[in-house]
Amino acid sequence: MRAQSIFMSLLVCLFGACAPDSGSDMADHESAAEFVERIQAEMILVARESETAAWVRNTYITPDTGLIAAKANERWLAFLSDALEQAKQYNDVEMSAQTRRAMEMLKLSTSLPAPSDAVLRAELSTIATELEGMYGAGRYCGAEQGDTGQGDADQNCRDLGALEDVMDNSRDYDALLDAWQGWRTIAEPMRPMYSRMVEIANAGAAEIGYADLGVMWKSGYDMDVQEFELELERLWTQVEPLYEELHCYVRDGLQGVYGEEKVAEGQPIPAHLLGNMWAQQWSNIYDLVEPYPGVLALDVTSNIEAKEWDAVEMVEVAEGFFTSIGLPELPDSFWQNSMLTQPQDRDVVCHASAWDMDNGKDVRIKQCVEPTEEEFSTLHHELGHIYYYLMYKDQPFIFKGGAHDGFHEAVGDTLTLSMTPGYLKDKGLIDSVGVSEQATINQLMKMALDKIAFLPFGKLIDEWRWRVFSGEVTEADYNDLWWSLRTQYQGIAAPNVRSENAFDPGAKFHIPGNTPYTRYFLSFIMQFQFYKSLCEISGHEGALHECSIYGNPEAGKRLGDMLALGASKPWPDAMEALTGQRQMDAYALVEYFAPLTSWLKTQNEGKVCGW
């Protein structure tokens, strides 16, 4: 009955009965502040419809839900287009700083701006919905290892979860290659659709006043676009030397497993050997590169499996970290409405995400939770979003967001840095706590394979898109640019010759899902800033990597106060409220990994590093 009522309400919305008129015939006397207040009230209703339709589409992929989601999204895009057209009347009007900020936030309230032309708007919505659906329903129907070619071919079809299991755990070069290239076949049909989506969204961005979609995305950081680009380069320069040391050490370890013929000295690492479908984080190959084997066992996954925790129990443990620092318990609606496991009867988008469905009244996550360390960490990340939603729920609708999008991504990960060996032992997730120098190096290596390995990947995704959005690179060269950037920044390469039809960027959810990615790069920098400040607030003394704020309400209050600001203040104000600083900086990250950096330099002496 509940599903039926959702669909009926969506149908009513689609025929125009769930939201008020957008108010295009604005009264002449409406002030800028009054305009913002009215638009926000209307946004709440239209956004609720769009979010509900998107949730149903993501958790129940069928042609019908695709149509409903596309139409609801079309109404949302139409609403924003009309609201932005009205807002132009206030471009030269004096108003308070807060009202001016609200106007700017309105312009940046979507990552996919639609043109005012209704036909183009409908086409954009349809393409965006179809691309997400293609990703969620993706299957590779090639032969698995050991298959003889006999029997029903459908039995060999594997979804992303099954292919990721191979990438995460196998050490068979050919099995890894099969899974890697198999998942990328699902992206090939996306390329012309993606190109058309970019074309239409660029037209939408131009109507708002931006040169292209990339310029619009880069305008959401309370600074000039060129200044922001320089800021990204400054941050990357701070962390690049540590990444290069890690890359050199890991490549040497992989040579010992697969041989120099497959992993050549001084050359990029084949992308399928790093324990992750996208080679974005490498902790799944920790056992291959563990500095001191057997010192401080860090096999969290095995202990999660031994405890037989189900998805709910894993979420409860993650929630316990947030409540231990004084943040509230998750509301009942979270447990009632979240999708925590993969349904067996339908296609869903398993990519983990957090949702604020009803102006702070209905928060939930969508994640196909498995009993692994990676999924356990991801739960903390998604709950970070949820607690951000809960803490800024009293802000005006237009300010319900992170101080910038990197803030939203950093919160949950900040707490994972407090999941020290001592904390993990207390939860029964590791057997012992090492206190030796060797144990410290093992601990930091495990963390670096996630945190440091990710940094160049986090930066290059949008570097690729910005060149696509600007027209510098055309559809025919999408894949060439992709691998050029992956080699330049990450020092990895495709393990085989890519076909002319390949669209390897589309094999990463955030590309067809049109989710900006620089936020993740920034979050991996800022989370260490947040963490260091919270450790100082908690009174921690000693090495930074030994700090845990678990159970410290003083740290939790400072964090909660910052979260409650939402997007109501420029991000330097929010940064200052938590850290006392007004600039993003990697100094805390460098301090955290200092012992490992020194160790890696010693290990890499005499090796041919770089690529």
Average pLDDT over residues 582-592: 97
User: Could you tell me the pLDDT band of residue 13, with boundaries at 50, 70 and 90?
Assistant: very low
Number of neighbouring beta carbons within 10 Å of residue 237 = 10
Amino acid identity of 286?
Answer: Y
Residue 359's pLDDT is 86
CB contact set of 444 (below 8 Å; sequence gap of 6+): 545, 592, 593, 595, 596
Annotated catalytic residue, options 51, 319, 370, 382? 382
Range scoring the smallest mean pLDDT among 127-141, 179-193, 422-436:
422-436
382 classed as catalytic = yes
Average pLDDT over residues 332-338: 96
Annotated catalytic residue, options 247, 351, 380, 540? 351
385 classed as catalytic = yes
Residue 586's pLDDT is 97
Q: How far is CA 274 from CA 38, 282, 328, 435, in A?
A: 51, 5, 38, 28
Mean pLDDT, the chain, rounded, equals 91
409 classed as catalytic = yes
- Say if residue 338's pLDDT is above 50: yes
Token pair for 391: 């803490």
Annotated catalytic residue, options 247, 380, 408, 510? 510
Average pLDDT over residues 539-545: 94
510 classed as catalytic = yes
More confident of the two residues 431 and 205: 205
Residue 428's pLDDT is 87
Range scoring the smallest mean pLDDT among 18-27, 82-91, 523-532:
18-27
247 classed as catalytic = no
- Say if residue 23's pLDDT is above 80: no
> Which residue in 304, 312, 287 sits closest to 419, CA to CA?
304
Written as one string, the DSSP assignment of 548-601 is --TT-HHHHHHHHHHHHTTTSS-HHHHHHHHHS-SS--SHHHHHHTHHHHHHHH
User: Could you tell me the pLDDT band of residue 373, with boundaries at 50, 70 and 90?
Assistant: confident
Residue 155's pLDDT is 64
User: Could you tell me the pLDDT band of residue 9, with boundaries at 50, 70 and 90?
Assistant: very low
- Say if residue 190's pLDDT is above 90: yes
**Residues 450, 102: Cα–Cα separation, whole Å:** 36
**Residues 67, 11: Cα–Cα separation, whole Å:** 11
| Interior/surface letters 333-355, b for 16+ CB within 10 angstroms, e for the rest | ebeebbbbebeeeebbbbbbbbb
User: Could you tell me the pLDDT band of residue 421, with boundaries at 50, 70 and 90?
Assistant: confident
308 classed as catalytic = no
Annotated catalytic residue, options 385, 404, 408, 545? 385
More confident of the two residues 70 and 251: 251
User: Could you tell me the pLDDT band of residue 430, with boundaries at 50, 70 and 90?
Assistant: confident
> Which residue in 401, 382, 402 sits closest to 322, CA to CA?
382
Annotated catalytic residue, options 33, 122, 206, 352? 352
Are residues 84 and 107 in contact, defined by beta-carbon separation less than 8 angstroms? yes
pLDDT in tens, 33-82: 999 999 999 999 999 999 999 999 999 999 999 999 999 989 998 998 89
Average pLDDT over residues 384-410: 95
Residue 294's pLDDT is 84
Q: Residue 366: enclosing H or E segment and its boundaries?
A: strand 363-366
Annotated catalytic residue, options 51, 290, 373, 409? 409
**Residues 511, 508: Cα–Cα separation, whole Å:** 6
Annotated catalytic residue, options 272, 381, 404, 408? 381
pLDDT in tens, 261-297: 999 999 999 999 999 999 999 999 999 999 999 887 7
Residue 298's pLDDT is 73
Q: Is 394 left (phi over 0), alpha (psi -120 to 50) or beta?
A: alpha
**Residues 18, 20: Cα–Cα separation, whole Å:** 7
Residue 24's pLDDT is 41
Residue 168's pLDDT is 94
164 classed as catalytic = no
Token pair for 466: 């910005």
- Say if residue 28's pLDDT is above 90: no
Annotated catalytic residue, options 520, 531, 550, 592? 520
351 classed as catalytic = yes
> Which residue in 140, 135, 138, 115 sits closest to 196, CA to CA?
115
Average pLDDT over residues 590-600: 98
pLDDT in tens, 198-233: 999 999 999 999 999 999 999 999 999 999 999 999
**Residues 479, 473: Cα–Cα separation, whole Å:** 10
pLDDT in tens, 89-133: 998 899 999 999 999 999 998 999 999 999 999 999 999 999 999
